[in-house]
Chains A and B, each alone.
Chain A
Amino acid sequence: MKNWLSPRSTAGLALIAVALIALPFVAGMGGQAWIRIVNFAILYIFLALGLNIVVGFAGLLDLGYIAFYAVGAYTWALLASPHFGLHWPVWAILPIGALVACLFGVLLGSPTLKLRGDYLAIVTLGFGEIVRIFMNNLNAPINITNGPQGITLIDPVSIAGLKFAGSTPFLGLTLTGAHKYYFLLVALAILVVVINLRLQHSRIGRAWQAIREDEVAAKAVGINTRNIKLLAFAMGASFGGIAGGVFAAMQGFVSPESFSLIESIMVLAMVVLGGMGHIPGVILGAILLSVLPEVLRYSVTPVQMALFGKTLVDPESLRMLIFGLALVLVMRFKPNGLWPAPESRRPAEATR
């Protein structure tokens, strides 16, 4: 653990705090869309950190992680929209979303306990698809999810009378909805990072890593690998559930197509590209992979115009091409991720 109280870390933290506060206003200069891009980047940090518990710490390859995000999003959507006429408050729905996602995590975890590697990946992939297909089809005979049309008019977050949709004046600044969600997301993200760091350096975190490193040896030292693996699925899923809830509130709309396989793959790519099991690396991976495609979206056409005077390649396909190439190059030259855990860790102080 870092010593948070040394003058250098205090200065560093202050700097990070200032940067975090200024970020939405700087991004906002490029238009509201950029604040939303930043917000999604933070949402992906959530997801990546949640998946990092399963994949990075416990070493269980999960290709259906987005299902938990979907479960969290639909939990929010059903409990706070005109669809069922329910409008529960945020402090009730967010924990319920986490809990429901957690149950789904155990549901997925229990039949897959004996599976590893490729086999586990295939089962989780199937699970992710099952959840999405259920959401697509649970509109008959009883209309629960409203099928492919999705659920609209979802309540935005509202804390102590402060509505997160629309603009609010604050200290001479106009805070738009995106600004407010940004600060909510940052607060939640800090919480998630702290929880992740604490879990990593705990008895449970070590047990996860032990299972990742050698399951037989982990059993031999008395780790109940079944329970500890289920715990990894449950914890990872809870983070996904919370992220999903915030996503639903922020968008005001959910539909099954937001939870396709490619989303699972993106989140997994964030974890792998950033550096599996290393929290700062995973955060970096999430930021890069969520912001880079957007930067490309806005730059591909102007660059082509400048070079050739016309748009030769459809920006959408070129964007994915560059993106894929970047992934291949990183995996070729930095197989442990862009920011992997250091080889030899410095003397760890007594944990506080």
Chain B
Amino acid sequence: MSEVLLEARAVAKHFGGVKALREVSLSIRRGEIYGLIGPNGAGKTTFFNCMTGLYVPDGGGFDFAGAPLLADAPQQAAARGIARTFQNIRLFGNMTALENVMVGRHVRTRAGVFGAMLRTAATRAEEAAIRSRAMELLHYVDIAERADDLARNLSYGDQRRLEIARALATEPQLLCLDEPAAGMNATETGELRELIEGIRGDGTTVLLIEHDVKLVMGLCDRVAVLDYGALVIEDVPAVVQKDQRVIEAYLGG
């Protein structure tokens, strides 16, 4: 439980004069559900984007499973075992739900152009494996009956689930969820909570960015709070909840 999976070392990022991240250092342990909270604009998503290679940090860096992550290489982050969802859902809208998850298998499979053109035995076997794994994942997030619907025609909650299934298809060690409960009602949030606990139960570490403080405090093993791009505190929920600086940041003093 105590092995460190992801270590952020003084990560800094600024956009022009705006310091979105001020030397944020934190560490996520293997097997935990780690919450990252903070008011709007605190730098949570920026932190995510730096970690998954979409932004290049201006300072510091990340170690993942014992080796540094290259900046500016999102496909490498996925290959190393970091998967993510997006705050504003980003699915492949004109592809079916099943195809969306099948795309997630890309990084763990090999078939190339010639295999596809000649449809070799190896390619066919791989394709069948991709399909059955994708179907399993759709069952796992409980939207298997929507497999052949275009992603953009799915309901909001199902799109959230589909995005998680697609991320899981990359076989991540660390699953990063960017505000998965945004726009969900209490029932849906409850279901989401069960899903996240199940994912952790299967051995995947979860990093959760969330606005819903109740969800985070109830679900996470440890929580980090960002405010104005700086880390305020990193500790178990019970301590974080009582911290005066957190209360100020969140409730405006």
A residues touching B (Cβ–Cβ < 8 Å)?
195, 198-199, 202-207, 209-210, 213-214, 216-225, 231, 235, 341, 343-348, 350-352
Contacts and interface: CB of A to CB of B under 8 A. Distances in A.
Contacts of A351: 124, 127-128, 131
Contacts of B112: 203-204
B119 A203 contact: no
Contact of B95 (A199, A209, A223): A209
Contacts of B147: 347
Q: Does more than half of chain A's interface fall in helix, strand or loop, or is it mixed? A: helix
Name the 10 nearest CB pairs between A and B, nearest first. A222-B78, A222-B107, A202-B116, A213-B92, A219-B74, A217-B90, A203-B111, A210-B103, A351-B127, A224-B75
A213 B95 contact: yes
Most interface-central of A216, A217, A222, A223 (chain B CB within 10 A): A222
Contact of A220 (B78, B98, B105, B123): B78
B54 interface: yes
A204 B111 contact: yes
Interface of B: 52-54, 74-75, 77-79, 83-84, 86, 90-96, 98-99, 102-107, 109-113, 115-117, 119, 123-124, 126-128, 130-131, 147-150, 153, 166-167, 169-170
Nearest to A346: B148
Contacts of B130: 203
Nearest to A347: B148
29 contacts: A198-B119, A203-B127, A205-B116, A206-B99, A206-B103, A206-B106, A207-B103, A209-B94, A210-B103, A213-B93, A214-B91, A217-B86, A217-B91, A217-B92, A218-B103, A219-B54, A220-B74, A220-B83, A221-B83, A221-B107, A221-B169, A221-B170, A222-B75, A222-B77, A235-B113, A347-B148, A348-B131, A351-B128, A351-B131
B90 A216 contact: yes
Contacts of A231: 113
A104 to B, nearest CB: 17
Nearest to B149: A344
Nearest to A191: B117
B113 A204 contact: yes
Given A198-B117, A343-B150, A351-B131, A223 B111 contact: no
A137 B131 CA distance: 52
Contacts of A195: 117
A198 B116 contact: yes
Given A203-B112, A217-B86, 16 more contacts: A199-B113, A202-B123, A203-B109, A204-B111, A204-B116, A206-B102, A206-B106, A207-B103, A209-B94, A210-B106, A219-B74, A222-B77, A222-B106, A222-B107, A223-B106, A352-B119
